Amino acid sequence: MMSGDGLVVRIRPRAGQVTAAQAHGIAQAAREYGNGVIDLSSRANLQLRGVRAETHGALLKALDALGLLDDDPATEARRNIVVTPFWSKSGVEPALAPALEAGLAASDLALPGKFGFAVDCGPRRVLNATPADIRIERSDRGKLIVRADGAQFGLPIAFEQAAVVALALARWFIASGGISEGRGRMAAHIRKGAVLPAHLAGTELPAAQAAPATTGLVAGGALVAMAFGSMTADSLEKLASAAAELRVTPWRMVFLPGSDLMPTGLGIISQANDPLLRVESCPGAPWCPQARAETRLLARELASHVPLGKTLHVSGCAKGCACARPVALTLVATSQGYDLVCNGTASATPVVHALSADEILSQPARYLGGL
């Protein structure tokens, strides 16, 4: 994808995981072929920024040598699977995710670009807020289930059948008219009245949701974040030196399994109360061609004024790429300045129009007071 700072190249790690050696290789490639910036996406992908068109081919070769490329772009696009970062080697995920990948690769399913799968088989669900259309998870009685997103109940299945049933559900979605003009999501399809066939509908309630993940030491390892989910090649190398494996999460954090020390420095956020965790922002101007103004500098300067537990989203335009959910306060760049939205998304109706950055920075309490 072309952006204001060059090509953005997506790396979709299998089961969200890269080895330390792969992470070192990605950092090296980001410096050599891009501008050294690596973003964490909300689909648990890594994105290399600032890649030059003339070095794109060499970058792909480097990623291939690291074992990070699929056979072709269509296979990579279909492999839209988010796996809980807290999987353990003795759990079902290490075998289930590859089975699903293999099934998707071998299939001819023409699914919409955003259609995805979540593999979330811990005792409590951690991916419930992560968009996905088909979920493999646990029921409240601990059974493995496959559940269509938006359906109240899941179908209990044997481990060996999970990937097969998930693919059958995807096939039903297509056959039952879930796609319109190349788009479609499972939850919307069910909301509109689509009824699952008896052999795909279940009666098992999904397990309870876990508390949202926060930065710090957690069971099984360390969770670290970077402001705006954006890191440098140096930061990635530092993380790669701290653990044998890195797992990219959909919360724009990295989980270091087995680590009992929090890495620090180089922009790594290790404290859950760091004000930078209260702001979200897309790259904005000049990095995105659609951006109307600068975003991240403003967000950084306002971060310490955002109350604990609240979120401020600074968006380069009304598309709101950095944060699709409604938050307490959103500043949306327009050609006249920044519009202010309260309790909404970047595309919601603003309550104040055309503020300048100086106006907001000189009276942050006035504009953040509504939080």
Rounded CA gap, 259 and 222, in Å? 6
When asked if residue 334 is in the footprint of ligand SF4 (CB under 6 A), the reply is no
Given 46, 66, 81, 282, the residue binding ligand SF4 (CB under 6 A): 282
Closest distance to ligand SF4 from the beta carbon of 170 (Å)? 28
Tokens for 331? 């500043």
CB nearer ligand SF4, residue 165 or residue 323: 323
Both tokens of 144, joined, read: 């493995």
Q: Which of 27, 321, 340, 368 touches ligand SF4 by CB under 6 A?
A: 321
Residue 332 interacts with ligand SF4 (CB under 6 A): yes or no: no
Q: Which is nearer to ligand SF4, 143 or 319 (CB)?
A: 319
**Least Å distance between CB 322 and ligand SF4?**
7
CB of residue 325 to ligand SF4, shortest distance in Å:
14
Range in contact with ligand SF4 (rule: CB under 6 A) among 91-99, 127-135, 319-327, 348-356: 319-327
Nearest to 83 by CA among 20, 162, 155, 7: 162
225 vs 40: CA distance, rounded Å: 9
CA–CA separation, 37 vs 231, rounded Å? 6
Residue 362 C-alpha from the chain's centroid? 33
Tokens of 90: 């003795």
Rounded to the nearest 10°, the torsion over CA 195, 196, 201, 207 is -80
Q: Whose Cβ is closer to ligand SF4: residue 51's or residue 213's? A: 51
Q: Which is nearer to ligand SF4, 10 or 319 (CB)?
A: 319
For 359, residues 6+ apart whose C-beta sits below 8 A from its C-beta are none
Binding status of residue 320 toward ligand SF4 by CB under 6 A: yes
Phi, psi of 19 (to 5 degrees): -80, 165
Q: Is 317 in the site for ligand SF4 (CB under 6 A)?
A: yes
Write the binding mask 62 to 91 for ligand SF4: x where contact by CB under 6 A, - elsewhere. Answer: ------------------------------
Region label for 162, one of left (φ > 0), alpha (ψ between -120 and 50) or beta (otherwise): alpha
Q: Is 296 helix (H, G, I), strand (E, B) or coil?
A: helix
Handedness of CA 256, 320, 302, 327 (dihedral sign): negative
Stretch that binds ligand SF4, among 215-223, 230-238, 279-287, 360-368 (CB under 6 A): 279-287
The site for ligand SF4, by CB under 6 A, has a size of 12
* Contact between 347 and ligand SF4 per CB under 6 A: no
When asked if residue 299 is in the footprint of ligand SF4 (CB under 6 A), the reply is no
Residues forming a β-bridge with 337: 334
The residue within the footprint of ligand SF4, chosen from 29, 162, 186, 288 (CB under 6 A), is 288
56 binds ligand SF4 (CB under 6 A): no
Could you say whether residue 327 binds ligand SF4 (CB under 6 A)? no
Taking CB under 6 A as the rule, does residue 290 contact ligand SF4?
Answer: yes
Minimum Å gap between C-beta 243 and ligand SF4 is 30
Alpha-carbon distance of 201 to 10, in angstroms, equals: 35
Name residues whose C-beta falls within 8 Å of residue 61's C-beta, 6 or more positions apart in sequence.
Answer: none
Residues of the shown chain interacting with ligand SF4 in the complex, contacts defined by CB under 6 A: 282-284, 288, 290-291, 315-317, 319-321
